[in-house]
């Protein structure tokens, strides 16, 4: 909806097409082939989870399908984009630029920091007053539940190989 508000035409690739009513409302075009879509768009917004299947989904080969005027925006997970290839292609003028708030190695690479036309931000999607208040309230609930001998609703169990903590199970 935001892209449409800016007058952009919307093209997308997904495992399955979205609801036809939403597709029609947005004037969105579904592509079965990610490769074919990449060759025809000017802005790629990466919005998928990191899984073994999405590691380097935007590999050097796929980035090379993009037009020189294209921008890559990654707000999902850093491992989805081959960061070294992206930085090289921007340096060489084979891509126009990028906007990233996630990084393949946790922080931007030196190569990416030096690349022109790149905007780098910390992954701060949750940095609103409302979400931080909610996070704090959930933490208090979890601590109170634990202190009262109950199972906290948002448990995280870390298991260490040296046996100091129990394994999750």
Segment 20-63, tens digit of pLDDT: 999 999 999 999 999 999 999 999 999 999 999 999 999 999 99
What order do you get walking across the sheet with 43-46 strand by strand? Answer: 43-46, 71-74, 97-100, 118-120
- Candidate CATH numbers 3.40.190.10, 3.10.20.740, 3.40.50.720, 3.40.50.300; the one for domain 33-120: 3.40.50.720
- Contacts of residue 154, Cβ cutoff 8 Å, sequence gap at least 6: 138, 142
Helices of type H across the chain: 2-5, 20-26, 34-38, 60-63, 83-91, 110-114, 129-147
> What does the alpha-carbon distance between residue 10 and residue 165 come to, in Å, rounded to a whole number?
48
Domain range summary for the chain, segments of one domain joined by +: 33-120, 126-169
pLDDT band at 135 (very low <50, low <70, confident <90, very high): confident
Segment 67-121, tens digit of pLDDT: 999 999 999 999 999 999 999 999 999 999 999 999 999 889 999 999 999 999 9
Residue 2 pLDDT greater than 90, yes or no:
no
pLDDT at residue 129 in the model: 87
pLDDT band at 156 (very low <50, low <70, confident <90, very high): low
> What does the alpha-carbon distance between residue 63 and residue 98 come to, in Å, rounded to a whole number?
12
Are the C-beta atoms of residues 48 and 57 closer than 8 Å to each other?
Answer: yes
Backbone angles phi, psi at 114, to 5 degrees: -90, -10
Backbone angles phi, psi at 41, to 5 degrees: -115, 155
């Amino acid at each position: 909806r935001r892209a449409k508000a800016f007058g952009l035409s919307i093209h997308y690739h997904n495992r399955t097409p979205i609801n036809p009513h939403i597709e029609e409302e947005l004037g969105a075009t579904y592509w079965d082939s990610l490769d074919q879509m990449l060759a025809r768009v000017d802005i790629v917004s990466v919005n998928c989870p990191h899984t073994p299947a999405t590691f380097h989904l935007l590999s050097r080969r796929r980035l090379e399908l993009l037009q020189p005027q294209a921008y890559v925006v990654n707000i999902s997970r850093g491992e989805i984009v081959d960061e070294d290839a992206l930085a090289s292609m921007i340096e060489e003028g084979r891509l126009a630029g990028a906007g990233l708030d996630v990084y393949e190695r946790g922080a931007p690479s030196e190569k990416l920091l030096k690349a022109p036309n790149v905007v780098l931000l910390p992954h701060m999607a949750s940095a609103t007053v409302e979400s931080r208040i909610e996070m704090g309230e959930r933490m208090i609930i979890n601590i109170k539940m634990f202190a009262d001998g109950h199972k906290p609703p948002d448990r995280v169990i870390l298991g260490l190989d040296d046996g100091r903590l129990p394994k999750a199970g």
